[in-house]
Amino acid sequence: MPIHEKSLIRPENLKTHDSLILDGVDVSGHWSTFIESRVVADYNEAIEDEIAALPGGEHIHRCWQCGSCTNSCTVNAINPDFNPRYWIYLIRMGMESELLRDKDIIWQCVSCNKCTYACPRDVFPEGVMKATSHWLELKGHTPKSPSMHFDEVFTEQIVKTGKIEESRTIRRFFQRTNQGLLQDWMLEMVKQLLRGLPIGLLTRMGLATFVAPRTSNWSRASAAMQEYIDEQHEKQEEALSLAQLVKAAQEDVAA
């Protein structure tokens, strides 16, 4: 829903007291329903910097709130609450609680990149969406999304072997997302494969399932890639102060 059509009063901001006496006057019951203040009392400059430290979020500070991204958005057409323009603003002004209200839909970006081509300032809103869902995961606000699991499985395999072996990718993806391997469509696909493909190809596919194919002399490339990835992760953890976050959480548990 466009912002201007949103109700200013949200149910969770209504406070009712069963019994309340103000200056000697009994205002219990529905007379004592109050609305929590909507006033923004401060900005938090840190969140923009954190999002900007993640891949895709680098250009968030360019946004001038024209709304081209939201207007061109594939997901917004289906779910009007999916509003990249609004989220970019919340991040820039540091309105974290407001952003977290939408944490369960931000990851739904389908990366169609229509916004990338509509944005007059090269903010790369699609990248910002990616960075934001990543941020939500790293900060522990949301569990890892299925697409993040897939990206990880895919990347790990490339780094390790230099090749993609699809059945392995699928198996690991199902495993990490707690899905059973023997799904109806999967069984049907295997049946069709067995029926339609030449024996030689089937044999090779079968072998690859057990012995992962590797690019020859891959170890040096693999090590270089892993080093870069570790470096990037370290930087991101530092930018997001994750160590402090973990420490604070541990202290909370201990207390």
Partner 1 sequence: MTKPILIVGGGPAGLAAAHSLATVGRASVLVEKEDKLGGAPILSGYAKLVPSGEWAKDAIGGMVQRVESESLVQVETGATVTSFDGGPGDFSVELSSGSKFDAEAAILCSGFTHFDSVNKPEWGFGTYPDVVTTTQVEQMISSGQGVRCPSDGRKPQRVAILLCVGSRDRQIGREWCSKICCTVSANMAMEIREELPDCHVYIYYMDIRTFGLYETKYYWRSQEEFKVKYIKARIAEVTSDGEKLIVKGEDTLVKRPITIPFDMVVHAIGMDPNVDNPDIANTFGIDLEPHGFIGSANTYGSMSQTSRPGVFVAGAATGPETIDDSIAQGHAAAMAVLSGLREAMGQTA
Find the binding residues for partner 1 in span 6-35 (CB under 8 A).
6, 8
Task: Give one DSSP letter per residue of 57-100, joined into a string.
Answer: -TTGGG-----HHHHH-HHHHH-TT--HHHHHHHHHHT-HHHHH
What is the Cβ-side half-sphere exposure of residue 76, based on CA atoms within 13 angstroms? Answer: 22
Task: Give the residue with the Cβ less far from partner 1, 25 or 41.
Answer: 41
Considering only the stretches 88-96, 166-174, 215-223, 236-244, report the one whose residues sit in contact with partner 1 under the rule CB under 8 A: 88-96
Find the binding residues for partner 1 in span 189-228 (CB under 8 A).
none
Considering only the stretches 85-93, 189-197, 205-213, 223-231, report the one whose residues sit in contact with partner 1 under the rule CB under 8 A: 85-93
Whole-number minimum distance, CB 98 to partner 1, in Å?
A: 7
Which of 89, 150, 174, 218 touches partner 1 by CB under 8 A? 89
101 counts as binding partner 1 under rule CB under 8 A: no
Which of 69, 83, 84, 92 touches partner 1 by CB under 8 A? 92
Residues 150/112, Cβ–Cβ less than 8 Å:
no
Whole-number minimum distance, CB 94 to partner 1, in Å?
A: 10
Whole-number minimum distance, CB 128 to partner 1, in Å?
A: 15
Number of residues that bind partner 1 (CB under 8 A): 23
Q: How many other C-beta atoms lie within 10 A of the C-beta of residue 123?
A: 25
Which of 10, 101, 121, 204 touches partner 1 by CB under 8 A? 121
Whole-number minimum distance, CB 226 to partner 1, in Å?
A: 33
Residues 98/53, Cβ–Cβ less than 8 Å:
no
Whole-number minimum distance, CB 53 to partner 1, in Å?
A: 13
Q: What is the spatial distance between Cα 162 and Cα 218, in angstroms, rounded to a whole number?
A: 7
Task: Give the residue with the Cβ less far from partner 1, 88 or 138.
Answer: 88
Find the binding residues for partner 1 in span 37-76 (CB under 8 A).
38-43, 45, 61-62, 64-65
Whole-number minimum distance, CB 50 to partner 1, in Å?
A: 14
Whole-number minimum distance, CB 245 to partner 1, in Å?
A: 23
DSSP 42: -
Residue 1, classified by CB atoms within 10 Å of its CB into exposed (0-12), middle (13-18) or buried (19+), is exposed
| 14: phi then psi, degrees, rounded to nearest 5 | -90, 130
- Which residues, listed in sequence order, are joined to residue 14 by a DSSP beta bridge? 35
| 95: phi then psi, degrees, rounded to nearest 5 | -85, 75
Residue 131, classified by CB atoms within 10 Å of its CB into exposed (0-12), middle (13-18) or buried (19+), is buried
Site residues, partner 1 (CB under 8 A): 3-4, 6, 8, 38-43, 45, 61-62, 64-65, 86, 89-90, 92-93, 95, 98, 121
